[in-house]
Chains A and B, each alone.
Chain A
Amino acid sequence: MIPQASLRALRETLGPACVREDEGDRVDGEPLAPTLRPADAGALAEALRALGRLSLACVIRGGGSRLELGNPPRGASLLLSTAALAGVDEFDASEGVCHVGAGTPLAAIQALVEPSGWQLPLDPPGAGSTLGGALAAAALGPRAQGFGRPRDCVLGLEVALADGSRTHCGGRVVKNVTGYDLNKLYTGSLGTLGVIESAWLRLRPLPARVALLEFASDRLAAACAGALAAGRRPSARAASLLASRADTGARPFGVVIELAGDEASVERDAAWCGSELGAAPAAPDALARVRERQGSTPGGDGLRFRIAGLASRCALALAALEDAGAELLAHPALGLVYAGFALPGREDPEAAEAAFRCALAAAEAGGGAALLEAGPAWAKRGRDVFGDLGRALALARELKRRFDPAGLLNPGRFAGHL
């Protein structure tokens, strides 16, 4: 709860249009309101300075599609929304770059650039995802196979730091080593080092041809091997394995393949997928189903882990999870597995513990690490959803201390409870 005097002070400083008392959201089960909704980057910096003066910590919200990611906040008083920092204020269609406000929905960017032959190389799950939120969470979708990691499309960022100073890093050009690459540091930092105001993005040319295929298998290992092989075809933009939920009668392991590129490459890879994997044209919404599953948790209140490991050991990780009855989705060529565990509606620490143990064992089998992407607050308690940072934690602490010494931005939410 925010003290009335602080609320009054915020209203006086920032104006009633910015301080939305009736607007809030639940973060890890706790209602959080009001919401500060600065109208522009200047107002964002002003809001941060006001929070600093009043020692009020905030949870940063973009489109609200990924608020479940992170450890439960520690002592946050309100929400800070970047939703009003929306719009594409520059789009250079000859260059394939654009400058976009953090609150802009990804779908709006895509709609703007597509008619000029470009695509935004970000496709995370979550309707209403905004650019700022997607970058802060380094959120990726099945097309990461072709698009690369979210950090790869960030050319430059404008970032408001916790002390209200407005900064920028990188630039608008596609190649740049001028100073430290802070783009990388902010991307994936969950807003704990600063609040992204806007970004220069590198777009990708729209492919001349796209083909969507799928095949199914009774065997997990065979499906995984097929998805891996498909994902390594030159034109593969996505290759995802989807284990169907128990009650469907279909063959249990489906693989969705998206090929994108020039006519000849797509034609050739499609023929290969047909003859080698028995793949056939898929329904138009096949990739949307993959994305939807990647962003959902069993029963809505279960646990969802992301396990990142080696592509060659993806099948081992999947096997470990299948035995435990987890819901499975994977992008095998990326070494990524998403595992959902249903939980009983009430607090059941033993069930959560069993799921964590299973996810960690799968990570071990897959040669990687597990991260809890979503789960009820009680299951997060006493744990770090990001896993163990090892000795890098000391560096992370130093960074947090220097960028946000008072702990105003998403306190407690990030790796190491920073």
Chain B
Amino acid sequence: MHLMSGLLERLRGIVGAEACLARPEELLVYECDGLTLHRAQPTAVVLPRSRDEVCRVVRACREFGVPFVPRGAGTGLSGGAVARGGGVVIECSRMDRIVLLDPVDRFAVVEPGVVNAELSKAAAPHGLFYAPDPSSQLVCTIGGNVAENSGGPHTLKYGTTTQHVLGLELVLPDGEVVQLGSRSGFAGGYDLVGAVVGSEGTLGIVTQATVRLEPIPERVETLLAIFPDVVSACRAVGGVIQAGLVPAALEIVDQRTIAAVEASVYAAGLPLDAGAVLLVEVDGPACSLPAQVQRIREIAAASGATRVEVARDAAERQRFWRARKGAFGAMGRLAPDLYVHDAVVPRARLPEVLARICAIGDRHGLRLSNVFHAGDGNLHPNISFDRRDPDELARVLAAGVEILEECVAAGGVITGEHGIGSEKRDFMGLLFSEADLDAMKRLRASFDPEGVCNPEKIFPSTRFCAESNPKARGYERVPFDP
């Protein structure tokens, strides 16, 4: 206890009393991120304003032997920003300056707390935008996006965060600062920028990111195609990809989701008897779009679409997107809690895997629906439930495991954009061998040999315990060295 009060005093001295939260009621909101199932109260939360404050906070934590967890806006969906077993949460939201926006060389240097959509807004007068667009882009921050290698509906054409980060300033777990990458995107040595992006805040704390900006496409066309069933919608997706088209987005909303959306304030005027809705967005030079739109219409019709509409204006485009983006909000009407799953399968396997996922939900008596990035094969089965009902919760978790197993069996992976965090760490073994995980640990240990930066994430829990618990050392421990 004395130790903790000493640490708090030190932290207050660094960031100021108002930027250091430690009362239980202040810490409540930091108990979880967007995945409400995993909760743990941190020891304290600090909100530094500068890189130097971050360094000093990290050093203080080390001195007191307390782990720390970087956090952006807390919109993550895998429990990555939660201080399991206590620790200091370092929230970067107050480091929110756009340090430099270079419209000529098309990059920006930003602090981690800059909100994703705000960067695009700042770049817009220059005809540029920041491409990665996770669903939470109105609130999520670039620092969090870097940690999670966030995607979004438009990654099919533009790629995920990793393709847009050129350089990073990182506070290492020992409090030292290192500059990685460069403004050109080329740098000598190992691609440490590539290694840090998507490392879920376990290799250090990003205090500045240099990101690529893209020219705003000249024109956008959005199509909405109604299908009798998911299988035919998936067939259309395959047809589009095989035709050599690279749409900006290819999204499918299944019938269960349509029903929920149409019953909510997000109603987009979709026919309730539709089996699935496919949303296609193409962008680029105005001259190239009519032919693409025509081709997509043909492919959709040949795949069994009963209706294909092209948005006539921005308002209609927004209405189309409401069917997709309003899905999570609409689910909120169905039950107090929503479990958003995230897995990827090869595109060709989508129809069969979806059918099995729906069967899993039905077998467990759950309200399961699907909206997903079909072009990437990135599934998001959503389960609406009430976590106060222990029996239902148990069924939700059991179904989740079965869903992951199905996706892996189909040649897929257990997360496409939400990360492993604390949610899926114990399922890493579905994909990776001891040797595979050991290679990842070598990377981890090169940055954070003592495992103090966002511990108990990514790696399976039993092994992690064996490592961090001195009594267990030498017992079932995977050796670092041959």
Instruction: For the complex formed, measure the closest distance between the CB of A193 and the CB atoms of chain B, giving whole angstroms.
Output: 8
Bits for B412-428, please: 1 = Cβ < 8 Å to A, else 0: 11111111100000001
- Whether the Cβ atoms of B186 and A178 lie closer than 8 Å is no
Residues of chain B from 374 to 425 with CB closer than 8 A to chain A in the complex: 376-378, 411-420
- Whether the Cβ atoms of A149 and B185 lie closer than 8 Å is yes
Q: Which of B65-73, B156-164, B320-328, B359-367 contacts A (4 or more CB under 8 A)?
A: B156-164
Instruction: For the complex formed, measure the closest distance between the CB of B41 and the CB atoms of chain A, giving whole angstroms.
Output: 27
Q: A390-B179, A392-B179, A403-B442 are in contact. Are A368 and B184 (CB under 8 A)?
A: yes
Roughly how many angstroms separate A165 CA and B344 CA in the complex, as a whole number? 27
Look across to chain A and name the residue whose beta carbon is closest to the beta carbon of B199.
A180
A234 within 8 A of B: yes
Residues of A within 8 A of B348 (CB): 92, 94-95
Q: A175-B373, A185-B443, A265-B284 are in contact. Are A310 and B345 (CB under 8 A)?
A: no
Q: Identify the interface centre among B191, B346, B432: most chain A CB within 10 Å of its CB.
A: B191
- Whether the Cβ atoms of B149 and A392 lie closer than 8 Å is no
- Whether the Cβ atoms of B195 and A175 lie closer than 8 Å is no
B288 within 8 A of A: yes
Instruction: For the complex formed, measure the closest distance between the CB of B107 and the CB atoms of chain A, giving whole angstroms.
Output: 9
| Cβ 8 A contact of A178, one of B194, B215, B413, B444 | B413
Q: Which of B220-228, B242-250, B308-316 contacts A (4 or more CB under 8 A)?
A: B242-250
Residues of B within 8 A of A401 (CB): 446
Q: A175-B344, A234-B285 are in contact. Are A405 and B185 (CB under 8 A)?
A: no
B291 within 8 A of A: yes
- Whether the Cβ atoms of B288 and A261 lie closer than 8 Å is yes
A221 within 8 A of B: no
- Whether the Cβ atoms of A171 and B413 lie closer than 8 Å is yes
Residues of chain A from 394 to 409 with CB closer than 8 A to chain B in the complex: 394-396, 398-399, 401-403, 405
Q: A268-B287, A395-B446, A398-B446 are in contact. Are A177 and B416 (CB under 8 A)?
A: yes
Roughly how many angstroms separate A93 CA and B348 CA in the complex, as a whole number? 10
- Whether the Cβ atoms of A386 and B291 lie closer than 8 Å is no
B105 within 8 A of A: yes
Roughly how many angstroms separate A149 CA and B212 CA in the complex, as a whole number? 13
Instruction: For the complex formed, measure the closest distance between the CB of A391 and the CB atoms of chain B, giving whole angstroms.
Output: 5
- Whether the Cβ atoms of B185 and A172 lie closer than 8 Å is no
Look across to chain B and name the residue whose beta carbon is closest to the beta carbon of A184.
B194
- Whether the Cβ atoms of A177 and B431 lie closer than 8 Å is no
Look across to chain A and name the residue whose beta carbon is closest to the beta carbon of B443.
A180
A169 within 8 A of B: yes
Bits for A302-314, please: 1 = Cβ < 8 Å to B, else 0: 0000001111100
Look across to chain A and name the residue whose beta carbon is closest to the beta carbon of B195.
A185
Interface size on B, residues (CB 8 A): 86
Roughly how many angstroms separate A400 CA and B131 CA in the complex, as a whole number? 34
- Whether the Cβ atoms of B436 and A94 lie closer than 8 Å is no
B100 within 8 A of A: no
Instruction: For the complex formed, measure the closest distance between the CB of A410 and the CB atoms of chain B, giving whole angstroms.
Output: 13
- Whether the Cβ atoms of A161 and B184 lie closer than 8 Å is no
Q: Give B contacts to A, CB under 8 Å.
A: 104-105, 148-149, 151, 155, 159-160, 162-163, 172, 176-180, 182-195, 197-199, 215, 218, 238, 241-242, 244-246, 284-285, 287-288, 291-292, 344-348, 373, 376-378, 411-420, 428, 431-433, 435-440, 442-447, 458, 480-482
Q: Give A contacts to B, CB under 8 Å.
A: 52, 92-97, 117, 138, 148-149, 151-152, 159, 161-169, 171-185, 187-189, 193-194, 205-208, 232, 234-235, 261-265, 267-268, 308-312, 335-336, 367-369, 371, 386-396, 398-399, 401-403, 405, 414-416
Closest 9 CB pairs of A and B: A184-B194, A163-B482, A205-B244, A308-B186, A386-B188, A398-B446, A415-B189, A402-B442, A264-B287
Sample of 27 A–B contacts (CB below 8 Å)? A94-B238, A94-B242, A148-B159, A165-B482, A167-B436, A171-B344, A172-B346, A173-B344, A174-B377, A178-B415, A179-B436, A179-B440, A180-B444, A181-B162, A181-B197, A181-B198, A261-B288, A265-B284, A267-B287, A308-B187, A309-B184, A387-B188, A389-B188, A390-B178, A392-B178, A396-B190, A398-B445
Other 20 A-B pairs with CB < 8 A, given A175-B378, A176-B344: A94-B238, A95-B348, A138-B191, A161-B439, A168-B436, A177-B151, A179-B440, A181-B198, A184-B197, A185-B190, A185-B192, A185-B195, A206-B244, A264-B288, A265-B288, A309-B184, A310-B184, A392-B178, A392-B190, A416-B189
